[in-house]
Amino acid sequence: MKVLEGKVAVVTGANSGIGLAIARAYRAEGARVFVAGRRQAQLDEVEAELSPDVTGIRCDVGRLEDLDALYATVAEQAGRIDVLVANAGIAIAAPLGEITEEQFDAMFTTNVKGPLFTVQKALPLLSPGASIILTGSTAASRPQPNLPAYGATKAAIRNLVRGFAHDAGTRRYRINVLSPGGTRTQGLQELLSTEELAAAGSSVPLGRLAEAAEIAAAAVFLASDASSYVNGSELAVDGGFAQI
Ligand code: NDP
């Protein structure tokens, strides 16, 4: 029995990296998946790879009209959401003494405003018992020298989840944070030099970076009924990086 058979899932930031790995894992477990991202060509590729039962929708999570359009399509094609993963996020390396207003706004718009309204606007479509997952980061608990503002956006995610978790009983959903450590994705490759990427794994107790599929496995757990009493939690999948 596939653990997400018959479920309808929406995953943002799903045309590469961790989001794509989650979309793949959800399809493998039998879910009908809506994938959201900004680049249409990438969405077309994901649709081709994961079809049938996958729909790519162009959506910038920082634009409320895009979220309205996303959920209008989901409502029309599926009528409900059982699993929502607000995963879209960007990281810009900039020390606080140098960060520009533009860089700050870009990160807070995508990483904080985006997930907040991704969840808020989904509420009318959530089925009873729906599972919501927000992608956090170990940067929230173990700040990185060149990523302090990014870490602040991910710390904000924790508080958003606590706020939404408070209403979980009346609204009949569950909501949790999934916090990856350094994970081999296009996003990380753009952030770190080749030398930094090679060295990054050595500071992790398990001695290596994560693969996106390892983060996706935890996203399957949080989406499935196996986590039916998990609400308002943060699940770190970081090889022990932020815990030691
Ligand atoms: P990638 O850059 O590989 O993927 C990010 C995805 O998000 C892309 O598909 C991108 O597609 C999409 N995206 C970016 N901005 C927006 C937006 N405004 N609206 C909709 N989609 C958007 O990054 P990762 O897979 O590495 O990161 C995914 C999440 O995991 C992020 O939230 C990140 O902060 C978090 N994370 C990553 C870690 C890592 O080491 N990789 C560690 C900890 C957390 P497009 O450009 O087409 O929109």
Cβ–ligand 1 contact at 224 (below 6 Å): no
Place of tokens 């390892």: 214
Has residue 243 been placed in a domain?
Answer: no
Structure tokens at 176: 């949790």
**112 is a domain residue:** yes
183 pocket-lining for ligand 1 (C-beta < 6 Å): yes
Question: Which atom of ligand 1 is closest in space to residue 135's alpha carbon?
Answer: 32
Query: From atom 2 of ligand 1, which residue's Cα is the shortest distance away?
Result: 187
The finding on whether 90 has its CB within 6 A of some atom of ligand 1 is yes
pLDDT of residue 195: 87
Is residue 242 one of the residues assigned to a domain?
Answer: no
In the chain, the percentage of residues whose pLDDT exceeds 70 is 100
Task: Check the CA dihedral 30-214-86-47 and report its sign.
Answer: negative
- The kind and range of the H/E element at 102 are helix 101-108
Flag whether 3 is in a domain. no
E strands present in the chain: 8-12, 32-37, 54-58, 81-86, 126-135, 173-180, 183-184, 210-211, 234-237
Residue to substitute in 18, 103, 142, 183 for testing ligand 1 pocket (most ligand atoms within 8 angstroms of CB): 18
Q: Round the average pLDDT of the chain to a whole number and report it.
A: 96
> Which residue has its alpha carbon closest to ligand 1 atom 23?
187
Say which range, 59-68, 156-165, 166-175, 225-234, has the weakest mean pLDDT: 166-175
Cα separation, 173 vs 76, in Å, equals 21
User: What value does the mean pLDDT take over residues 183-194?
Assistant: 92
Alpha helices in 29-100 (DSSP H): 40-50, 64-77
Catalytic residue list: 150
* 202: CATH: 3.40.50.720
pTM to 2 decimal places: 0.98
Whether 170 is in a domain gets the answer: yes
Q: Is 185 in the pocket of ligand 1 (CB under 6 A)?
A: yes
Residue in the structure block whose two tokens are 């599972």: 131
Q: Enumerate helices (H) and strands (E) in the chain, giving the number of each.
A: 10, 9
Residue at 150 is within a domain? yes
The residue whose CB lies within 8 Å of the most ligand 1 atoms, and thus the one to mutate among 157, 183, 214, 215, is 183
Structure confidence at residue 241 (pLDDT): 94
Within 13 Å and on the Cβ side, how many CA atoms surround 130? 27
Phi, psi angles (nearest 5°) of residue 229: -110, 15
Output the CA 170–ligand 1 centroid distance in Å. 31
| Binding site membership of 109 for ligand 1 (Cβ less than 6 Å) | no
Domain membership of residue 168 as a residue range: 8-237
CA 225 to chain centre: 19
Encode pLDDT of 39-50 as tens digits.
999 999 999 999
Name the residue with the closest Cα to ligand 1, atom 7: 13
Q: What is the pLDDT of residue 199?
A: 87
If one counts the domains in the chain, the total is 1
Within-domain flag for 69: yes
113, pLDDT greater than 90: yes
- Give distance in angstroms: CA of 1 to centre of ligand 1: 31
Amino acid letter, residue 85: V
Which band of pLDDT confidence, cut at 50, 70 and 90, is reported for residue 13? very high
* Residue type at 222 in one-letter notation: L
CA of 214 to the centre of ligand 1 (A): 16
User: What is the DSSP secondary structure assignment for residue 112, as one 8-state letter?
Assistant: I
Note whether ipTM > 0.90 here. Answer: yes
Does ligand 1 come within 6 angstroms of the Cβ of 118?
A: no
pLDDT of res. 145:
83
Residue whose pair of structure tokens reads 């602040």 in the numeric block: 152
